[in-house]
Copies of this chain bind each other. A is one copy, B any other.
Amino acid sequence: MNINIILFRDFETLDVFGPVEILGKLPDEYKIKYYSPEGGIVLSRQGTQVVTEPLNTIGHQEILLIPGGQGTRELVLNEDFIHQLRVIAEQSLFCLTVCTGSALLAKTGLLKKRRATSNKNAFRWVMSVDREVNWIKKARWVTDGKYYTSSGVSAGMDMALGFIADQFGPKKAKEIAQSIEYIWNSDPENDIFERDDI
């Protein structure tokens, strides 16, 4: 099974590589693959150049991961991309977003009436993308059917471990957390970054 990650200019570095570190610990189960609208080298917000394949070569019936970052502000207005993303997300077995990646997914309309979350620092903007989403303000991550959405940046790691726990049991998730010396916040509702002002 492939984990298909969609990159774009100014994606947030850890939104991608936190989950990749965790999902990549199961090489017999998951292969990590990177895509971008045009393919080629994509630059993260923090200055990392990553090699990607063109989005029109992405596989179906696989697992999709959409990071967030400054680049989502422009990409959410790109109708061709959003249309393409909708088709890919519909065909994916699971669709995971980190941070403002949920804004891109919301823009496709696939989150309507569903529960989802995002980064606190961008929450108002993300909500404005689709007010018919049931946006959850206090959550480390939210699961609704095949859709997993996480709050800001490092929350993507907790969500990835939660996804592993759902697929392979909590023991496997705990083993991975231990192997990378990561203190897993395993309760999706335990969110110390909750804010009153959003």
CB <8 Å contact, A14 and B180: yes
Residues of B close to A134: CB separation below 8 A: none
CA distance A47 to B29 in the complex (A): 13
Q: Is A49 an interface residue (CB 8 A)?
A: yes
Q: Is A151 an interface residue (CB 8 A)?
A: yes
Q: How many residues of A contact B (CB 8 A)?
A: 41
Residues of B close to A48: CB separation below 8 A: 17, 20, 32, 34, 50
Residues of B close to A151: CB separation below 8 A: 181
Q: Is A66 an interface residue (CB 8 A)?
A: no
17 additional contacts (CB under 8 A) given A20-B48, A34-B48, A153-B179 = A12-B21, A13-B24, A14-B21, A17-B17, A24-B45, A24-B47, A119-B181, A120-B181, A151-B181, A152-B179, A152-B181, A154-B157, A154-B180, A154-B181, A154-B183, A183-B183, A183-B185
